[in-house]
């Protein structure tokens, strides 16, 4: 794969993730994708030519991580340089997303990525040994070339999460609406578990256009949210997890 092609794919992925758009075909008929029977994941690949990888791609996400089959190797540690960010929260019709305006970064070895946004899926998109978590948070990062690194954080039922509480207090309940409450900041480190060990693999966006070339890390240690916080998300966002995809020979490392 040429550098030009890889960069263009990364830029397409970044554009898809950072800008909320309605995809239209040449006849201007809106194509609405979602998670139900109509326009659901099984149909994504045939809805638009740009979505073809959702059906034909061989490096798709999410996956079921079978821990007995994960390779243990020495990997560069993740280095999160996170601080606070003003709360800018939106309901884009597919998920609840918090847009990040601070200079929060993730380093993996020599590669450095800027945090653009984080959003949620319920139940989790990734499975561990066949089991879903109640929620999963995706921290979406990009580098200067537009290539993506996404960190998945599983969320289990337990104690209430103070940082989620700030976001949930201002969660927009209507699709296409947002909230930017004055003086409210999210402490990004409070959304991370104590350990940053994770499962690494090469995958894709989990939403159309399912662009591949995404660097995935699913953290091994979950964070907690109270049952009430988990239920509050589900009351606003119906199940929004793409089914797990075949590995097709890919290796998952730990």
- For 74-130, the pLDDT digits (tens) are 877 899 999 999 999 999 999 999 999 999 999 998 999 999 999 999 999 999 999
Per the residue annotation, which of 94, 121, 138, 142 is the catalytic one?
94
Task: Tell me, yes or no, whether 116 lies in a domain.
Answer: yes
- H or E segment at 107? strand 105-108
Query: Phi and psi at residue 9, in whole multiples of 5°?
Result: -65, -40
Residue-level pLDDT at 43: 97
Residue 20 has pLDDT above 50, yes or no: no
Residue 35 has pLDDT above 80, yes or no: yes
Residue-level pLDDT at 239: 98
The answer to whether the peptide bond before residue 62 is cis (omega within 30 degrees of 0) is yes
| Count of domains forming the chain | 1
Task: Tell me, yes or no, whether 188 lies in a domain.
Answer: yes
Task: Tell me, yes or no, whether 207 lies in a domain.
Answer: yes
Task: Tell me, yes or no, whether 96 lies in a domain.
Answer: yes
Task: Tell me, yes or no, whether 200 lies in a domain.
Answer: yes
pLDDT tens digits, 223-254: 999 999 999 999 999 999 999 999 999 999 99
Kindly report the average pLDDT of the chain as a whole number: 90
Residue-level pLDDT at 33: 97
The percent of residues above 90 in pLDDT, for the chain, comes to 85
Residue-level pLDDT at 31: 65
Instruction: Name 121's bridge partners.
Output: 136
Residue-level pLDDT at 75: 77
Range of the domain at 73: 3-236
For this structure, is 32 an active site residue? no
The answer to whether the CB of 199 falls within 8 A of the CB of 69 is no
Q: Are strands 127-128 and 64-65 parallel, antiparallel or unpaired?
A: parallel
Q: How much is the CA Rg of the chain, to the nearest whole Å? A: 17
Task: Tell me, yes or no, whether 101 lies in a domain.
Answer: yes
Task: Tell me, yes or no, whether 247 lies in a domain.
Answer: no
Task: Tell me, yes or no, whether 244 lies in a domain.
Answer: no
Instruction: Name 128's bridge partners.
Output: 65, 131
In CATH, what number is assigned to the domain containing residue 19?
A: 3.10.200.10
């Amino acid at each position: 794969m040429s550098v030009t092609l890889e960069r263009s794919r990364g830029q397409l992925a970044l554009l898809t993730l950072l800008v909320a758009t309605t995809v239209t075909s040449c006849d201007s008929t809106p194509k609405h994708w979602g998670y139900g029977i109509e326009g659901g994941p099984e149909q994504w690949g045939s809805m638009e030519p740009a979505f073809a990888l959702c059906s034909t791609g061989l490096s798709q996400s999410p996956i079921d991580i079978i821990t007995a089959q994960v390779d243990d190797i020495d990997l560069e540690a993740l280095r999160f340089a996170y601080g606070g960010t003003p709360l800018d929260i939106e309901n884009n019709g597919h998920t609840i997303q918090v847009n990040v305006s601070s200079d929060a970064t993730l380093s993996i070895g020599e590669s450095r990525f800027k945090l653009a946004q984080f959003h949620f899926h319920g139940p989790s998109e990734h499975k561990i040994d066949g089991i879903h978590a109640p929620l999963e948070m995706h921290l979406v990062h990009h580098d200067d070339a537009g290539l993506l690194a996404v960190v998945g954080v599983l969320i289990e039922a337990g104690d209430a999460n103070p940082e989620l509480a700030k976001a949930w207090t201002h969660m927009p309940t209507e699709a296409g609406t947002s909230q930017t409450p004055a003086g409210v900041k999210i402490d990004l480190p409070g959304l991370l578990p104590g350990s940053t060990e994770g499962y690494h693999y090469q995958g894709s966006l989990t939403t159309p256009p399912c662009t591949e070339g995404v660097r995935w890390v699913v953290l091994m240690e979950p964070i907690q949210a109270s049952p009430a916080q988990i239920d509050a998300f589900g009351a606003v966002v119906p199940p929004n997890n793409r089914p797990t995809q075949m590995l097709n020979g890919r290796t998952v490392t730990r």
